[in-house]
Amino acid sequence: MRIRRTNIILAGCLAVSACQSGPPSQAVSDRNSEFGCIAGTVGGAIVGGLIGSTIGAGTGQVLAVGAGIGGGGYVGNRLACR
């Protein structure tokens, strides 16, 4: 009984995966590229801010966080938006 259920589930998964459409259009490709660019910029800014928060104390730490956010955002943008 268990093997039969597994085979039915597997057949259903294969049937659904066969229903995929063709290659994406240019608009979809552009939108995915733009999303990746934004995600890289924001992700880099977050990581940079976290790294900057480990440096210094007081006003120096605030400046380090700001520099980390700016630098991380720039690097993330450069890596994701090629």
> What total of structural domains would you count in the chain?
1
In this prediction, residue 36 carries a pLDDT of 82
Collect all residues with Cβ–Cβ distance below 8 Å to 37 and sequence separation of at least 6: 77, 80, 81
Tell me the two tokens of residue 13: 């998964």
**What is the arithmetic mean of pLDDT over 55-82?**
88
Using CA atoms, how far apart are residues 66 and 19, in angstroms rounded to an integer?
48
In this prediction, residue 58 carries a pLDDT of 84
For residue 46, give its domain range.
1-81
Average pLDDT over the chain reads 78
In three-state form (DSSP H/G/I as H, E/B as E, the rest C), the secondary structure along 11-54 is HHHHHHHCCCCCCCCHHHHHHHHHHHHHHHHHHHHHHHHHHHCC
Q: Are 52 and 65 in contact (CB under 8 A)?
A: yes
